[in-house]
C-alpha cells in the first residue's frame, strides 16, 4: 500500500472513530436504552466517549432475562446469589444521574434484601418502578419505596403489604399502579385502599389478587382505566364515575349485590371486558330485570367464557346489549360445554350502532345459533361478523351444515359480511 493510500485510509478510520465518539448525548442515551444492560456495559470499549456512558443510562432493566444471563453456566446457588448481588450492587451504586425507569426482578434463589437498592434508586428521582418477587418469595415492600414522591408509574408483584409507614403521605404524581398478589395474607385490604386513595392523580389501576379479599373500596377521582382480576368479596368504586372509560372485570364477587354496585359506577365507560371469573361465579349474582343505568357511552364489549346454555347468563347479556345503544364492537368467547337447556330471548331491541362482531368457540348449540340469528336480524349497520368454530365441530360435514345454517339467516344490514373460521 502506498504512503498516500495509507494516509487516506488512516484519515478515514479517524473520521469514523470521531463519528462514534462525537455522537450527541441524547443519541447515545437512545442507543443505550435499546440495549440489554449487559450489552450496554460492553459499549465502554468503543471509545473514551463511551467509557462511562452506560453508567448514566436512565433506564435500568434488571428483569428476569437479566437474572437468567447471570445464572447461565452456573450450578451452585450460593455462588449465583453472590454474583447476582455483586453485579446489581455495581450497577446501582455506580450509576450517575437520574433514573427514569427501574425494573428489578428478584429471583427465588436470592435470599438477600433489596432495601439498599430501592433506596439508592429512589435517591435518583426514579419515575417508573417495577419490583417483582419470584414465587415462592414473600417479602415486605421496602419502606423507602413509599418516599418516592416523584413516581408516575409503578408495578409491584408478589409482595407483603400489611402496614404503611407512618410518614407516608401518598404518591402525588402516580398515574399508573399495577399490583399482583397471589396470597391474600400478604395484603391488608384497608392498607391497599389507603394507598390507592393517597394517589390523587391516579388514572390507571390494575389489581390482580388471586385469593379472596374482604370488601375493597376504590377511591380514585381521576381514574380512567380499571382492571380487576381474581377473587373479591365485594368491590365498590367511588369518585370515578364521570371519568372512568375502560374497565376489565375478571373477578368472582362473593356478595350478590356487589355486581349491581359496580354496574351503577360504569355509566360513562366506553370499553368493558367481562372475564372468566365473572361467569364462573355468576350463580351468586341476582341480575336485575333491567339495568339501573344506561351504558350510553359503551362502544366496545368483550365477553370471555360465558355459559350461554344458562338462562340467567343469556338474559344478562341481552339486558346489557339493550342498555348499550352506542355499542359498535362486540366480542363473545363461549365456554365450551355440552348443550344445556334452551334459553329464550324475551325482549326485542335493535343494535343501532353495531358494526363488528366476533363469536369464538362456537359449537353450534341452539342457544348460540339463537344469539347469532338475533344479532344478524337486528343490526342494521353491521359490517362484519366473524365466527370461530370450536374444535367440537371437527368433521367436514358438521362444518358444512353449520355454515349452511348460518348463511340462511336474515341480515338486516345489506353490507354485513359473514366469515366462518375453523381451527
394-414 confidence digits (pLDDT tens): 788 999 999 999 999 999 999
| pLDDT for 25 | 55
Of 274 and 238, more confident = 274
pLDDT at 4 over 60: no
274 closest CA partner among 302, 296, 253, 241: 302
Task: Specify whether domain 287-423 bears CATH 3.80.10.
Answer: yes
The answer on pLDDT for 42 being more than 50 is no
| pLDDT grade for 51, boundaries at 50, 70 and 90 | very low
The helix-helix angle for 77-93 and 115-123 (nearest 10°) equals 20
| Residue showing cell 380514585 | 220
* Mean pLDDT (the chain, rounded): 83
Nearest CA to 389 out of 419, 360, 358 is that of: 360
Which contacts qualify for 91-95: CB closer than 8 Å, 24 or more apart? 91/37, 91/60, 91/62, 92/60, 92/117, 92/120, 92/121, 93/120, 94/55, 95/55, 95/56, 95/60, 95/120, 95/124
The string over 21-48, giving b where at least 16 C-beta atoms fall within 10 Å of a residue's C-beta and e elsewhere, is eebeeeebbeebeebebeebbebeeeee
Three cell numbers, residue 390: 370450536
Domain residue ranges in the chain: 209-272, 287-423
d(CA 84, CA 407): 61
Give dist(CA 105, CA 63) in Å, integer: 5
Query: Given a cut of 80, is residue 16 above it in pLDDT?
Result: no
Over residues 272-328, the pLDDT tens digits come to: 999 998 898 887 777 666 666 788 999 999 999 999 888 888 888 998 999 999 999
Stretch 349-360: mean pLDDT: 96
Amino acid at each position: 500500500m502506498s504512503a498516500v493510500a495509507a494516509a487516506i485510509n488512516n484519515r478515514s478510520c479517524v473520521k469514523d472513530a470521531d463519528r462514534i465518539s462525537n455522537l450527541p448525548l441524547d443519541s447515545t442515551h437512545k442507543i443505550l436504552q435499546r440495549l440489554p444492560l449487559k450489552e450496554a456495559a460492553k459499549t465502554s470499549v468503543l471509545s473514551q466517549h463511551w467509557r462511562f456512558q452506560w453508567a448514566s443510562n436512565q433506564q435500568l432493566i434488571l428483569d428476569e432475562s437479566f437474572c437468567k444471563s447471570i445464572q447461565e453456566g452456573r450450578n451452585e446457588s450460593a455462588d449465583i446469589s453472590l454474583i447476582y448481588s455483586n453485579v446489581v450492587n455495581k450497577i446501582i451504586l455506580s450509576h450517575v444521574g437520574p433514573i427514569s425507569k427501574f425494573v428489578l426482578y428478584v429471583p427465588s434463589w436470592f435470599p438477600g434484601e433489596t432495601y439498599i437498592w430501592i433506596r439508592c434508586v429512589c435517591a435518583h428521582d426514579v419515575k417508573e418502578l417495577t419490583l417483582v418477587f419470584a414465587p415462592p418469595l414473600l417479602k415486605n415492600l421496602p419502606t423507602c419505596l413509599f418516599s418516592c414522591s416523584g413516581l408516575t408509574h409503578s408495578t409491584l408483584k408478589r409482595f407483603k403489604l400489611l402496614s404503611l409507614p407512618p410518614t407516608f403521605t401518598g404518591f402525588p404524581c402516580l398515574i399508573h399502579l399495577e399490583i399482583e398478589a397471589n396470597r391474600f395474607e400478604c395484603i391488608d385490604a384497608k392498607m391497599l385502599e389507603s394507598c390507592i386513595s393517597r394517589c390523587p392523580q391516579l388514572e390507571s389501576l390494575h389489581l390482580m389478587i388471586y385469593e379472596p379479599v374482604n370488601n375493597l373500596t376504590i377511591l380514585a377521582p381521576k381514574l380512567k382505566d380499571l382492571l380487576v382480576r381474581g377473587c373479591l368479596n365485594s368491590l365498590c368504586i367511588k369518585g370515578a364515575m364521570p371519568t372512568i372509560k375502560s374497565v376489565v372485570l375478571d373477578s368472582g364477587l362473593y356478595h350478590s349485590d356487589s355486581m349491581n354496585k359496580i354496574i351503577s359506577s360504569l355509566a360513562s365507560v366506553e370499553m368493558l371486558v367481562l372475564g372468566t371469573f365473572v361467569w364462573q361465579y355468576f350463580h351468586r349474582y341476582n341480575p336485575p330485570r333491567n339495568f339501573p343505568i344506561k351504558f350510553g357511552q359503551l362502544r366496545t364489549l368483550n365477553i370471555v367464557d360465558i355459559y350461554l346454555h344458562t338462562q340467567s347468563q343469556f338474559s344478562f347479556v341481552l339486558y346489557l346489549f339493550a342498555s348499550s345503544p352506542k355499542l359498535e364492537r362486540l366480542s363473545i368467547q363461549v365456554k365450551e360445554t355440552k348443550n344445556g337447556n334452551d334459553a329464550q330471548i324475551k325482549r326485542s331491541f335493535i343494535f343501532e350502532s353495531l358494526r363488528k362482531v366476533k363469536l369464538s368457540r362456537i359449537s353450534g348449540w341452539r342457544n348460540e345459533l339463537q344469539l347469532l340469528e338475533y344479532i344478524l336480524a337486528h343490526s342494521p349497520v353491521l359490517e362484519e361478523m366473524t365466527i370461530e368454530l370450536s374444535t367440537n365441530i371437527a368433521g367436514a360435514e358438521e362444518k358444512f351444515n353449520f355454515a349452511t345454517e348460518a348463511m340462511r339467516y336474515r341480515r338486516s344490514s345489506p353490507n354485513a359480511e359473514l366469515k366462518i373460521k375453523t381451527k
